[in-house]
Amino acid sequence: MGGAISQVIVSTISSSFVLVYALKEDTFVLGKRESAILFMMPLIAFYEVFVPPYLDFLLLLSVILLFKTFRIITAEDMKLIDSFLPSKLKFVISLMKAIS
């Protein structure tokens, strides 16, 4: 268990450094969608640590509502993802249409 916790911490720190560097070099523009997703990540981690696992369906519902509210998935995104999906995973597009 300690190795997994260590891996999460190292991965989080590494990703934070890459994100800060990308923002400083203007290779990643922080828009409304990106801000919403970045804001949700620590909240989801907090939820997973302190809320009992049998209430995870509330997390799923809140993430879906946030995606619908901020319109994070656009039609262009769905077309792009659809072009890369193999035929066995085409159901993912119908799920994305339901969320967006």
Each residue's pLDDT tens digit, 43-83: 888 888 888 888 888 888 988 888 888 888 888 988 988 89
Q: Are 99 and 84 in contact (CB under 8 A)?
A: no
pLDDT at 1 over 80: no
Residue partners of 95: CB distance under 8 A and separation at least 6 = none
Distance (Å, rounded) from C-alpha 14 to C-alpha 43? 19
Each residue's pLDDT tens digit, 18-52: 988 988 998 888 888 888 888 888 888 888 888 88
Confidence (pLDDT) at 56: 87
Confidence (pLDDT) at 21: 92
From residue 91, how far is each of 71, 78, 80, 96 by CA, in Å? 20, 12, 15, 9
Q: What percent of the chain has pLDDT over 70?
A: 99
